[in-house]
Amino acid sequence: MGEETNPLIPAGYDIVWSVVAGLVIALVIVALVVLARSAKRLTPLEALVWTLVVLFVPVLGPLAWLTIGHRSATPERSS
């Protein structure tokens, strides 16, 4: 007889994809929290555009905000 698998135990790829999906969701949440905290330094239009980019461009949107957008939203300190 062939090897039978237990339908209650997920296959390895199911576990991997679940972890990847969890990480993507966590990345979006972190990006939205950082965006909300720095929204005072953005115009309403910039905040709206960044929010839409973070929500609708998977992985690249949150990474773009955390690398590019967050830096441009912080006020420059004058020495």
Domain ranges of the chain: 12-73
pLDDT band at 11 (very low <50, low <70, confident <90, very high): confident
Interatomic CA distance for residues 60 and 23, integer angstroms: 13
pLDDT value of residue 17? 87
Query: What is the rounded average pLDDT of the residues 46-72?
Result: 90
- What does the alpha-carbon distance between residue 42 and residue 70 come to, in Å, rounded to a whole number? 10
- Residue 76 confidence (pLDDT): 58
Alpha carbon of 34 to those of 11, 16, 26, 73: distances in Å?
A: 35, 27, 12, 11
Rounded Cα distance between 16 and 76, Å, is: 41
Q: What stretches of the chain adopt beta strand conformation (E)?
A: none
Tell me how far apart the alpha carbons of residues 74 and 36 are, in angstroms, rounded to a whole number. Answer: 13
pLDDT score of 2: 59
- pLDDT of 41 over the 80 cut: yes
**Mean confidence (pLDDT) of the chain:** 85
